[in-house]
Amino acid sequence: MSSFFRKLRWLLQRSGKEAELRQELQFHLDEEAAERRQDGLTGDAARRAASRELGNRTLVEENTRAVWGWVFLEQLIQDLRYAARTMRRNAGFSVLALLSLALGIGANTVIYSFMDSLFLRTLPVGQPESLVVLNWHSQGRVGGGANHVMHGMDGSTWKDDNGTSSGIFPFGAFELFREKTTLFSSVFAYYPTEKRTLLVKGQAEIAAGEYVSGDYFHGLELTPAAGRLMVADDDRAGGPLVTVISSRLSERLFQGASNAVGQTILIDNLLFTVVGVTPPEFFGVDPDASPDFYVPLHSNLVLDGTESFAKTPKSYLDGNYYWIQIMGRLRTGVSRAQAQAALAPQFHQWVAATATNERELASLPALTAKAAAGGLDTLRRRYSRPLYVLWGMVGLILAIACANIANLLLSRSTARQREMAVRLSIGAGRVRLIRQLLTESILLALAGGAVGALLAVWGVRFLSALLANGQDNFAVRPDVNWHVLGITCAVSVLCGSLFGLAPAIQSTRPDITPSLRGGRVAERSPRVGVSVWRVTLSQVLVISQIVFSLLMLVAAGLFVRTLSNLQSVQVGFNRENLLMFEVNARQAGHRDPEILTFYEELRKRFAAIPGVRNATLSHASLLAAGRRLGLSVSGTPLTDTWILNTGPDFFSTMQIPLLMGRQIDEADQLGSLGIVVVNERFAATQFGGQNPLGRRIRLGGPHPRDMQIVGVAANAQYGGLKQDIRPVIYIPYNQGDYPRVQKMVYALRTAGDPLAQASTVREIVRQADSRIPVMNVTTQAMEIDRSMNQEIIFARLCTGFAILALVIATVGLYGTMAYRVARRTGEIGIRMALGAQRGAVVRMILRQALVLAAIGLAIGLPAALGASKLVESFLFGIKSNDPSVLLLAVAVLLCAALIAGYLPAWRASRINPLTAIRDE
Amino acid sequence: MPRDTPSRVDLLQGTLDLLILRTLLPGRSHGHAIAKHIQRTSEDLLQVETGSLYPALHRLEAKGWIAATWELSDKGKRARFYRLTARGRKQLAAEQSKWEVFSRAMGLILNPVDQEGQ
Residues in A touching B75 (Cβ below 8 Å)? 34
pLDDT band per the 50, 70, 90 thresholds, residue A133: very high
Q: How far is A69 from chain B (nearest CA, A)?
A: 9
Nearest-angstrom CA–CA distance, A217 and A242: 14
Cross-strand partners of A295 = A211
Could you give the count of Cα atoms lying within 13 Å of A445 in the half-sphere of its Cβ?
A: 30
Cβ–Cβ contacts within 10 Å for residue A556, how many? Answer: 27
Nearest-angstrom CA–CA distance, A600 and A617: 9
Percent pLDDT > 70 in chain A is 92
pLDDT tens-digit map of A4-14: 665 666 666 66
The backbone torsions φ and ψ at residue A771, rounded to the nearest 5 degrees and listed phi first, read -80, -10
pLDDT band per the 50, 70, 90 thresholds, residue A919: low
Residue in A30, A35, A53 nearest the CB of B50: A53
Residues in B touching A31 (Cβ below 8 Å)? 30, 32-33
Chain A residue with CA closest to B63: the answer is: A3
pLDDT band per the 50, 70, 90 thresholds, residue A2: low
pLDDT beyond 90 at A403: no
Residue in B33, B36, B54 nearest the CB of A64: B54
Nearest-angstrom CA–CA distance, A538 and A150: 62
Residue in A28, A34, A55 nearest the CB of B31: A28
Instruction: Work out the burial of residue A61: count CB atoms within 10 Å of its CB; fewer than 13 is exposed, 13-18 middle, 19 or more buried.
Output: middle
Residue boundaries of the structural domains of chain A: 2-69, 128-373, 380-565+790-919, 585-771
Q: Minimum mean pLDDT among A306-320, A351-365, A376-390, A620-634: which range?
A: A306-320
Give the three-class secondary structure for A211: strand
ipTM above 0.90, yes or no: no
Q: Determine the straight-line distance between the first and last CA of chain A, rounded to whole angstroms.
A: 61
Nearest-angstrom CA–CA distance, A112 and A503: 29
pLDDT beyond 70 at B4: no
Residue boundaries of the structural domains of chain B: 15-110
- Nearest CA to A917 out of A819, A821, A828, A822 is that of A828
Q: How far is A78 from chain B (nearest CA, A)?
A: 22
- On whether the CB atoms of residues A278 and A225 are closer than 8 A, the answer is yes
- Nearest CA to A478 out of A845, A50, A120, A212 is that of A120
pLDDT beyond 70 at B9: no
Chain B residue with CA closest to A6: the answer is: B62
Percent pLDDT > 90 in chain A is 36
Cross-strand partners of A201 = none
The backbone torsions φ and ψ at residue A644, rounded to the nearest 5 degrees and listed phi first, read -120, 120
Q: How far is B50 from chain A (nearest CA, A)?
A: 6
pLDDT beyond 60 at A515: no
Which one of B34, B36, B39, B54 makes the best mutation probe of the A interface by having the most chain A beta carbons within 10 Å?
B54
pLDDT band per the 50, 70, 90 thresholds, residue A69: low
pLDDT tens-digit map of A445-477: 899 899 999 999 998 888 888 777 766 566 677
Q: How far is B103 from chain A (nearest CA, A)?
A: 29
Nearest-angstrom CA–CA distance, A400 and A545: 5
Q: How far is CA A362 from CA A139, A163, A164, A348, in A?
A: 9, 13, 14, 12
pLDDT of res. A277: 95
Cross-strand partners of A168 = A325
Cβ–Cβ contacts within 10 Å for residue A839, how many? Answer: 9
Q: Which three-class secondary structure string do you get for A715-778?
A: CCCCCCCCCCCCCEEEEECCCCCCCCCCCEEEEEEECCCHHHHHHHHHHHHHHHCCCCCEEEEE
Give the three-class secondary structure for A174: helix
pLDDT tens-digit map of A589-619: 888 889 999 999 999 999 999 999 999 999 9
Q: Minimum mean pLDDT among A78-92, A590-604, A709-723: which range?
A: A78-92
Q: Does residue B69 sit at the A interface (CB-CB below 8 Å)?
A: no
Q: Is the backbone of residue A820 left (phi > 0), alpha (psi -120 to 50) or beta?
A: alpha
The class level of CATH for B15-110 reads: mainly alpha
